[in-house]
Amino acid sequence: MKYKSMDIGQVSPEAAGRKERLAGWVDEVRDLGKIKFLLVRDRTGSVQVTWKKGSCEESTGEVIGTLHQNDVVSVVGTIERSTVSKRGVEVLPEQIHVLNRAKHPLPMDIAEDISTGLDVRLDYRPLDLMRPSKRRIFEVFSETISAVRGFFHARGFAEVVTPRIISAATEGGANLFNVRYFDRTVNLAQSPQLYKEQLVMGLEKVFELGTYFRAEPFDSTRHLNEFVSLDIEVAFADCGDVMVILQDMILAISSEICRNSQLADSLAQEFRKVSGPIPVYKYEEVVNALNEHGMKVNFGSDLSSEDLKKVQQFAEGAYFITDWPTSTKPFYIKQRGEGDVTESFDFMWGPLEVCSGGSREENRDKIEKKLLASGMNPATFEEHLKFFACGMPPHAGWGLGFNRLLMAMMGLSNIREAVLYPRDRFRITP
């Protein structure tokens, strides 16, 4: 590469004697007159550059004297073993080029051990990511995406991309953003629900990773107005089948990330590994247990965040809650027999809902009845419903909040930590 011959993390005592070109950012400068120390870092690590009067060029020493934190430099020098530097190695500089100067002082302190408020960090997100602990969250995000793609491709799923510009609600009408579209008003997709269901006719097993929008004035640490979702839909499968797929995928992600040596070393404390079968509780069991623990939950109501915090007393880590009452689930979820429960599940991690899914209703008349019962007009869904009379197979699937999964795996308390540039009611920059 033009500016560097190796990453700084690759500089090792074994490379002693080699002349290399390194590039990165200034971390620290210490000028003791006859000897000057320059700490240079990139995303892989940092190394000490040691200038010694007499054995290094005077002009190189002068350049070091002008440097401040985060100036961007390229250093050509010889790698030497060192008994005093932390990594047992240092670089004796031949040339130092300043590639760009940084404002001094920086608008945000980027030292790992300085704690800065989340709002300031988000205002300066690219600087925030120069700290290893924050960068790591998004390295895990990237690795998780790679693991997910590998998992589904290996199982014969097709990756699909469905529209974000839509004309009808997918999850009920209330929380849609309206957008000007030439001379009409259209909506931003809340989920790929209707499209992925239609696609099981031709492709049978599909998955999609995408960004979706919900127009509610949320005020929470787990909701954003724009979020990333991982969705699957599978023909000839039911709720139990797609729960197994989800469990296998969670286990695969866990072991993939722990196998990635670069991540695993630095992740030891924060990453929550899932290794065994994930416990399953029925909604009714959870409600009974909650009522035994002094809460007042009626069968048929959704579980509040207070309820879910209480659930921690008997369910920890990752678990499923299944068989939700009809009233708590959207119109496309299938009824279990004639009763009032559905073939549905939520996948939870502590008090956090990470994923919702279940068997879908494939009978057009039943879907129409469910739409009417939830106050929606089946005619608005004609573009979707028409396919249910053309050979729609039984099918099941789920939608998983990808940022929430990252929150859960990394033990983060605010979803904004798990989104590079979060969008909430108040924040639309940077």
Residue 72 vs residues 9, 69, 194: alpha-carbon distances, Å: 17, 9, 49
Task: Based on the shown chain and the rule CB under 6 A, indicate whether residue 332 belongs to the binding site for ligand ATP.
Answer: no
Pick the binder of ligand ATP from 91, 354, 408, 410 (CB under 6 A): 354
**φ and ψ at residue 381, rounded to 5 degrees:** -105, 10
Give the one residue of 224, 242, 315, 367 binding ligand ATP; rule: CB under 6 A: 224
Q: Which of residues 158-177 bind ligand ATP (CB under 6 A)?
A: 171
Instruction: Classify residue 134 as left (phi > 0), alpha (psi -120 to 50) or beta.
Output: alpha
Least distance between Mg ion and beta carbon 109 (Å):
39
Q: Which of 144, 140, 154, 139 is nearest to 245 (CA)?
A: 154
Pairing between β-strand 184-188 and β-strand 178-181 as defined by DSSP bridges? antiparallel
Q: How far is the CB of 423 from ligand ATP (least distance, A)?
A: 10
Residue 353 within binding range of ligand ATP, rule CB under 6 A? yes
- DSSP β-ladder status, 318-322 and 344-349: antiparallel
- 415: nearest Cα among 405, 426, 427: 405
Q: Is 223 in the site for ligand ATP (CB under 6 A)?
A: yes
Q: Which is nearer to Mg ion, 162 or 356 (CB)?
A: 356
**Distance of closest approach, residue 346 Cβ to Mg ion, in angstroms:** 6
Tell me how far, at minimum, the Cβ of 184 lies from ligand ATP, in Å. 26
Residue 136 or 196: the one with the smaller Cβ distance to Mg ion is: 196
Q: Which of 214, 310, 336, 370 binds ligand ATP (CB under 6 A)?
A: 214
Q: Which does 224 bind (CB under 5 to 8 A by kind): Mg ion, ligand ATP, none?
A: ligand ATP
Nearer to ligand ATP, 258 or 274 (CB): 274
> Is residue 231 classed as helix, strand or coil in its secondary structure?
strand
Helix (H) or strand (E) holding 76: strand 72-81
> Does 370 engage in binding with ligand ATP (CB under 6 A)?
no
**In the complex, least distance from residue 218 CB atom to ligand ATP, rounded to whole angstroms:** 6
* Min CB(71)–ligand ATP separation in Å: 38
Residue from 151, 227, 319, 332 that binds ligand ATP (CB under 6 A)? 227
Q: Quick one: tokens of 310?
A: 């209480």
Task: Indicate the residue whose CB is closest to ligand ATP.
Answer: 401
Nearest CB to ligand ATP, comparing residues 38 and 354: 354
Amino acid sitting at position 228:
V
Task: Name which of 89 and 352 has its Cβ closer to ligand ATP.
Answer: 352
Binding site partner of 223, from ligand ATP, Mg ion, none, Cβ cut-off 5-8 A by kind? ligand ATP
Minimum distance from residue 278 beta carbon to Mg ion (Å): 17
Long-range contacts of 413-421, Cβ-Cβ distance < 8 Å, separation of 24 or more: 413/221, 414/118, 414/221, 415/221, 415/222, 415/223, 415/224, 415/227, 416/118, 416/122, 416/221, 416/224, 417/118, 417/137, 418/137, 418/141, 419/224, 419/227, 419/228, 420/125, 420/129, 420/138, 421/122, 421/125
At closest approach, how far in Å is the CB of 428 from ligand ATP? 15
- Nearest 5 degrees, angle CA 403-CA 334-CA 342? 80
Per the CB < 8 A criterion, the answer to whether 206 and 196 are in contact is yes
Q: Residues touching ligand ATP: how many (CB under 6 A)?
A: 16
CA distances from 70 to 37, 104, 134, 232 (A): 15, 9, 17, 43
Stretch that binds ligand ATP, among 146-154, 288-296, 310-318, 399-407 (CB under 6 A): 399-407
> Which one of ligand ATP, Mg ion, none is in contact with 204 (Cβ closer than 5 to 8 A by kind)?
none
Span from 79-87, 97-105, 128-136, 224-232 in contact with ligand ATP (CB under 6 A): 224-232
CB of 165 to ligand ATP, least distance (A): 19
Answer for the pair 103, 83: CB distance below 8 angstroms, yes or no: no
Binder of ligand ATP out of 356, 395, 407, 417 (CB under 6 A): 356
Judged by the rule CB under 6 A, the positions of this chain that interact with ligand ATP are 171, 214, 218, 223-224, 227, 229, 353-356, 399, 401, 403-404, 415
